[in-house]
Structure 1
Amino acid sequence: MFLMLFLILLLFAGIFGKLFWIQIAATESYSSRGINLVKNSVVQRQRALVLESGRGEILDRNLQPLTGNIVKALVAFPINSEFAMNGQEVSQLARILKTNKESWLSFARNLKEPQVWGTQDGGKALSLSSQQVKEIDRLGLANIKVVEMEDRYPTGMTARQLIGFIGQNPDRVMQLYGSDLEKGRLALTSKIGGAGLEKSFDAWLRGVGETSISYFTDAGKRPLAGLDARMIAPDNSFYPVKLITTLDSHVQQQIEALMDKLNIREGAAVVQEAAQGDVIAMASRPNYNPLQVDLASNNWSNYAIKATAPGSIFKTIVAAAALDEKVVTPTETFDCEGALGKYGFTCWRKDGHGPLTLEEGYAQSCNIVFANVMRRLTATQLEKYADKLGVLNEVGWTGKTDTRDAFEQFDSEERGQLFAAHTPENDEGVLMQTAIGQRDVRMTPLQASNMVVTLLNDGKGFTPRVVKEIQYQTGREMEAFPVKSLASDDGKISAATSRTLLNWMREVVTEGTGQSLQGAKWKLAGKSGTAQIQNGNQEKVNQWFIGYGPVETPRYAVSVVIKNTDPTESNKAIPLFKGIMDILASQGLSNSK
C-alpha cells in the first residue's frame, strides 16, 4: 500500500515537474528543435491579415502610380459572439456599406480568419469614402476596423500585359530564392512575379516584408486587453523601392481606350521616342484580369514582344538591302501585270500596277517589284540587312547592372525570324515569298517600331528601355538603366539609305497605300502590311502599319498589328495608327523627360 502511494506521488511529481519546465523554465526554447512556446501560443491566438505586400511600386515617367493604389477598406475579425453586433448596429453598418443586413450577417457568420469586406466571393476590397470611414468609426464596434490597404492592380489599370502579375510558384521560389527560404524571409507560398515587369524586376520589387494587421484573442476568442488590433510593418525607410518606367500613363490609357473602341480583339501597339527609342506606350489585346489569371489562355501574353508574320512592312528591309548594295538604279522600272507567272506568285492588285520604280513599288506595296528585286539579292545579304535593322534578335534593353551580370527588361521577348530550320534558303520561290514578309518571316511589333527609330537616327539603332531607374523610397537612386545602342555584327545601314526610306514612307501616305492618313493632326509617314496566315484550317490575315510623325520634325515611331482578322474585315491598322498619332499630337509630350 505504501509502495503504491509512493509511486503515485512520484508520478504526480514528474508531471508537475514537466509542466513547470514547459510553462516556466523552457518557454523560450522547448525540445531539441528550439520551439518558442510563448511565441507559438501568441501565434495561435493571432489573426493576421496582409494589408500591403511590401512590393515595390511601378510608376510612369511622371511618377504617376501604375500599381499599388492605397484604399480605405473594412476588416472584420472572428471573435467571441458576446462582442458581435446587435441588430441595430448591423442595420447601421449595412446602410453605411450600401448593402443589406442579410449580406453582412452571411459574411460575418462564416468568418474563420480576418477578412476584408468585398473579398468574400473572390472580389476586391471595397474602397470606402471619407464619409463612410467617419460613420464606421462612430459606431465603435469591437470586431471591425477601417485600415489602409494596398490595391496592387486597381480597376481600370493600364499596360497590364507589360506590368504582368504576381502569384504563387513554389518551384520557382525554391529555384531562385533558396537562401531566403532557409532564412525565413520567404515561404513557399509567397507570391512572386509571374510575368511582365513583375517577373523581370522581381528581385528588386520583392521588398523587405509585409505590412499586416493582427488581432489577438484568448482561447475563448475574446479580445485581449491592450492587444486587440496591432499593425506590424517592416521598419526600413528605404523600402519598398520605386520602379520608374518610361511610359506615359495618360497616353497608354488613351491608346487602350482607342483599341477597345475599334473592337480590336487581338493585337498590339508600340510607341517609341524617336530620339533614343524609349517606350512611351505598349498595349496588347485581349485584356485580362491580373487577379484571376488563366495560364491556359494567352490573354495575359504581351503581343507587343511576340513574333508574328509581318507582311509588306518587311519590304523596308529588302529596299534597304537593294539601296545599300546598289543592285537597283533609281530610274529602273519593273513591270507588274498582277502575276509573276511562276510559283503562283501574285500581286495584291490583280490587274497589275504597270511599270514601277522601286520607289513607286514601295509606295504602292507592289509584290511583283519586290520579287524581281529579290532576284538580285542573296539570302545572306537579306539576313545581313535584317540584322542591321534589328529584326532578328531581341531588341529590348539588356546588360549588366550593379547587382546582376546579365539582365533583360522585357519578360519573354521573342526573336525575329527569316527562315525556318529546314527551309531551303536559296530557293528562288522561297526568297520571293520572304521578300514580301510571308512564309517563315516573323517580327515583333517592338522590333518593327524600333526599326523605324533606327531609320530616324541614320541607321543607328537603340535597345528600347521601358524602365529608366529604380529608386529607394527616399528618392535616392538604387539602379540606373542608361540609354544603349543596339549592337549588330553587320554594322548599320547607311545614313543616305535611311533618309531615302524615310522619304519613301512619306510617299506611302501622299501617293500610296496610306493615303487615308492625310487627315491626321500631324503629317505622317509609314508603311502598310498585310500578311496571310493559317489559323487552324482557316485563312486569316495580320494587318500592320508602321511609321513616324510629325514628318517635319519626327518625334515618335509607332507600330501596330491587328492579328488573326478575317480577310473580308475592313482595315483597322491604319485607323489605329492615325488615332495613336492624333493622341500624341494632342499631348505636347517632351522628349526631354
Structure 2
Amino acid sequence: MRIKPLSSLEKRRIFLVLLTILLLFIGIVGKLFWIQIATTESYSSRGVNLVKNSVVQRQRALVLESGRGEILDRDLKPMTGKIIKALVAFPINSYYQGNPQQINQLASILRTNTVQWLAFSRDLKEPQVWRTAEGGKPVMLSDQQEEQINALGLPFLKVVKMEDRYPSGMTARQLIGFIGQNPDRVMSIYGADLEKGKVALTSKIGGAGLEKTFDLWLRGIGETSISYFTDAGKRPLAGLDARMIAPDNTFYPVKLVTTLDLSVQQRIENLMDKLNIREGAAVVQEVAQGDIVAMASRPNFDQTEVDLASNNWSNYALKATAPGSIFKTVVAAAALDKGIVDPKETFNCEGALGKYGFTCWRRDGHGPLTLEQGYAQSCNIVFARVMQRLTPAELESYAHKLGVLDEVGWTGKTDSEQILHQLDTEEQGQLFGAHTPHNDEGVLMQTAIGQRDVRMTPLQASNMVVTLLHGGKGYSPRVVQEIRYQTDRVMEKFPIQLLDSEAGRVSAATSRTLVNWMREVVTEGTGQGLKDAKWKLAGKSGTAQIETGKQEKVNQWFIGYGPVDSPKYAVSVVIKNMDPTESNKSIPLFKGIMDILASDSDGR
C-alpha cells in the first residue's frame, strides 16, 4: 500500500497546529512558574503572599478559637467568648467510624438517635462540629459526656474546647456588634497584612458595633485550629492524628475593658422584654463623667445569622428619631439664656393656637401658664409663643450647645495617631430638613415642640441631661475605657473627654433652672407616674407624632436623672412606632431602669 506524500500546504497546517499547541503549553508552564515560584510572595497588583495564605487556609480547616480579643464589662466580667466543650468528627475511612454497638452508645450519650448521627457523620469531606441543628450552635458537652465519648475509643472523634463567641442569652448585642466575612473590606483595610499572610480573604472581621470600631485590636494574631492527619487511604496516622495549631504569644488576645455594667445591662434588657417593647432603646450614663453604663436596643438579633436587610442589628440608641416634647428643653434653655421671657409672665393655652392647625395635646387647654409651668405640663401653646421670640439661628446655636445635633460619642487619637470613633454608625441630630424654610413661622412652631424635621438620638438625649447637671459643661461619653494585653498590662487608654462646641455652653444658671424644672415634671406635671419610684426622680416626657407609610404612629420618650438630691445617673428611653391608642410604656421603662440602678447602688 502506497502512502500518499503530504502536500506542502498540509505540512504547513500541521506545523502551525503543533506550534500553537506548543505555545499554549509553554504559556501554561510559564504561568505556573510565575505563580508557584517567581511570585509566590507577591502575586497580583496587591502583592498577595500565596504561600502564607495557603498555609492560613489549611490551618482554618476547623477553627476552635478565633483569636479575637475579649470584650469585658467594667468589673472585667466577660461579655463575649464563652469556652465550651464540643465534639468534632473527622473525615476518615469508614472502617474506623465504629461498629453498630458503638454508634448506638454514642447516639445515646449525645441524646440523639443513630439515624441523625449517621446522617451527620457519613461522607464527611472536612472536620465538622456536632451542632444543635444544621448550621446551628455547637452542642455543649458535660464532663461526663466527654469521659463517656473518650471511653468508646473512636479515633475519628475528639472532644475539644471551643469558643462560642456569641453565647445564647448574651446582652448588648447591637452595641457589641458581630463579625463576618468581607473580602473587599479585608483587601481595602488589611492589604499589607494580606500580603504578609497574617490575614486571609476569608478571615472574619468586625462587621458592626465594637467588633468593627475596635477590630484593629480585637482581631489578634491568629486562630487556634485543629488538624487531622491520615494516610492516602484515610487511615489515621498513629501519634499524628489530631493536632492543635495555636499562636504562641503571652500578650494576645487583648482585653477590651468597657464602661458597661453587665448586671445592669442584663436586667434592663429583661425589663424591656417583660414590657414587650418591640422597637426602642435605653441609655444609662454616669453623671460624674458621662460614661455609658448600659445601652440596650430592641428588637434583638442573632449575631451568628445576621440579616443585613433587616434593621434588627441596628443600635437604635445611636439612631436619630423624632423627639417630641423632650426637645422643649432646648427651647427653654435658649429662652432663659437670652432673657426673652419674664419668669412671672403667663401664656394663655386654650387648646389651639388659632392658626396653622397648631394645637396642644390637652384639647380643652391649660389656661394661663408660666414658662416653668408650661415645661412641667408640656404645653405646646406656651412653647409656640416662646418660639415667636427666638430666631432659627439662636435655636440652632442652643441645640449645638446641648449636643443634640452632633455626634457626641468619644472620638480622639489613639497612641498610633489614628482617629477613633468608639461608637459605630452614630448619627447626628437634625433641626431642619434640607429643603425646609427656616423662617416659616408654622415650621418654627412645629420645630419648637420637637416635631416636623427635628431628630435626636437617645444617647444625645441622655447626654443633654448630663450636660445640664454639670452646669452646661458636656462630656463625650465613653463605652471603652482601656485595652489591656492578656497579661493585664495596659495597652491603650481612652481618657475622659469634654464635649466642646464652637457655639459655647449653656449658662450654669440656666442649667440649674432646667434641672429644677425637671423635678416639677415629676411632682406636678406629666411625669407623676414616677412618684412611687425607689429614688426621687426628675425628667421630661415627650411624645412625637410620626407617619410610618400611611399609618400614624408615635415615639414615646422620657429622659431624666436620679436620685434628685445627689444625681448619679442620667437615663433616656424611647419606644418607637407605637400605636397612638397604646398605653404609655416610656414612664414604666424609665422607672424600672431607675429602680434597677437604685437596687444596684444599695447592693454596693
TM-score band by shorter chain is over 0.9
Note the residue ranges of structure 1 that are not aligned, 5 or more in a row.
1-28
- Structure 1 consecutive aligned stretches of length 4 or more whose deviation exceeds 2 Å: 29-48
Contact 2:320 2:458 in 1 (8 A): yes
* Equivalence map 1:192-203=2 (5 Å): 192-203=205-216
- Does 2:321 correspond to 1:305? no
SS at match of 2:179: strand
Note the residue ranges of structure 2 that are not aligned, 5 or more in a row.
1-34, 42-48
Structure 1 counterpart of 2:65:
52
- Does 2:481 correspond to 1:457? no
Task: Return the match for 1:545 from 558, 561, 571.
Answer: 558
Structure 2 counterpart of 1:432:
445
Task: Return the match for 1:410 from 423, 429, 435.
Answer: 423
Contact 1:336 1:353 in 2 (8 A): yes
TM-aligned CA deviation for residue 286 of structure 1 = 0.5
Contact 2:40 2:50 in 1 (8 A): no
Aligned counterparts of 2:85 and 2:59: Cα–Cα separation in 1? 22
- Does 2:341 correspond to 1:325? no
SS at match of 1:118: coil
- Does 2:505 correspond to 1:492? yes
Task: Return the match for 1:182 from 173, 188, 195.
Answer: 195
SS at match of 1:519: coil
TM-aligned CA deviation for residue 110 of structure 1 = 3.7
Contact 2:350 2:366 in 1 (8 A): yes
| One-letter amino acid of the counterpart of residue 383, structure 2 | F
Contact 2:258 2:481 in 1 (8 A): yes
Between 573-582 and 117-126, the greater mean CA deviation after superposition: 117-126
Contact 2:407 2:426 in 1 (8 A): yes
- Does 2:590 correspond to 1:577? yes
| One-letter amino acid of the counterpart of residue 356, structure 1 | L
Structure 2 counterpart of 1:131:
144
| One-letter amino acid of the counterpart of residue 206, structure 1 | R
| One-letter amino acid of the counterpart of residue 199, structure 2 | L
* Equivalence map 1:517-556=2 (5 Å): 517-556=530-569
Aligned counterparts of 1:506 and 1:416: Cα–Cα separation in 2? 26
Q: 1:57–1:570: structure 2 CA closer, same or farther, 3 Å change rule?
A: same
Aligned counterparts of 2:328 and 2:37: Cα–Cα separation in 1? 75
Aligned counterparts of 2:297 and 2:558: Cα–Cα separation in 1? 15
Aligned counterparts of 1:109 and 1:77: Cα–Cα separation in 2? 10
TM-aligned CA deviation for residue 47 of structure 1 = 8.9
Structure 1 counterpart of 2:527:
514
Task: Return the match for 2:283 from 266, 270, 278.
Answer: 270
SS at match of 2:249: coil
Aligned counterparts of 1:571 and 1:38: Cα–Cα separation in 2? 62
- Does 2:87 correspond to 1:74? yes
TM-aligned CA deviation for residue 44 of structure 1 = 11
TM score, norm. by length of structure 1: 0.92
Task: Return the match for 1:476 from 470, 477, 489.
Answer: 489
Structure 2 counterpart of 1:289:
302
Q: 1:496–1:39: structure 2 CA closer, same or farther, 3 Å change rule?
A: closer
Contact 1:47 1:113 in 2 (8 A): no
Aligned counterparts of 2:148 and 2:59: Cα–Cα separation in 1? 27
Q: 1:203–1:30: structure 2 CA closer, same or farther, 3 Å change rule?
A: closer
Structure 1 counterpart of 2:328:
315
Contact 2:79 2:262 in 1 (8 A): yes
Q: 1:355–1:75: structure 2 CA closer, same or farther, 3 Å change rule?
A: same
Q: 1:389–1:250: structure 2 CA closer, same or farther, 3 Å change rule?
A: same
Structure 2 counterpart of 1:561:
574
Q: 1:511–1:584: structure 2 CA closer, same or farther, 3 Å change rule?
A: same
Structure 2 counterpart of 1:359:
372
- Deviation track 1:163-201 (CA, whole Å, cap 9, x = no partner) reads 000111111111111111111111111111000000011
Contact 1:246 1:468 in 2 (8 A): yes
Contact 1:434 1:441 in 2 (8 A): yes
TM-aligned CA deviation for residue 97 of structure 1 = 1.1
Contact 1:311 1:529 in 2 (8 A): yes
Task: Return the match for 1:98 from 90, 95, 111.
Answer: 111
Aligned counterparts of 1:230 and 1:567: Cα–Cα separation in 2? 62
- Deviation track 1:312-365 (CA, whole Å, cap 9, x = no partner) reads 000001001111111011111000000001111000000000000000000000
Aligned counterparts of 1:206 and 1:543: Cα–Cα separation in 2? 39
SS at match of 1:355: strand
TM score, norm. by length of structure 2: 0.91
Aligned counterparts of 1:395 and 1:294: Cα–Cα separation in 2? 28
Equivalenced residues, count: 563
| One-letter amino acid of the counterpart of residue 462, structure 1 | Y
TM-aligned CA deviation for residue 48 of structure 1 = 3.3
SS at match of 2:474: coil
| One-letter amino acid of the counterpart of residue 522, structure 2 | V
Contact 2:83 2:164 in 1 (8 A): yes
| One-letter amino acid of the counterpart of residue 257, structure 1 | N
Contact 1:468 1:480 in 2 (8 A): yes
| One-letter amino acid of the counterpart of residue 223, structure 1 | P
Structure 2 counterpart of 1:21:
none
Contact 1:45 1:219 in 2 (8 A): no
Q: 1:428–1:173: structure 2 CA closer, same or farther, 3 Å change rule?
A: same
The root-mean-square deviation of aligned C-alpha atoms, in Å, is 2.1
Q: 1:185–1:41: structure 2 CA closer, same or farther, 3 Å change rule?
A: closer
Task: Return the match for 1:256 from 269, 274, 296.
Answer: 269
Structure 2 counterpart of 1:25:
none
Contact 2:281 2:574 in 1 (8 A): yes
Aligned counterparts of 2:75 and 2:205: Cα–Cα separation in 1? 26
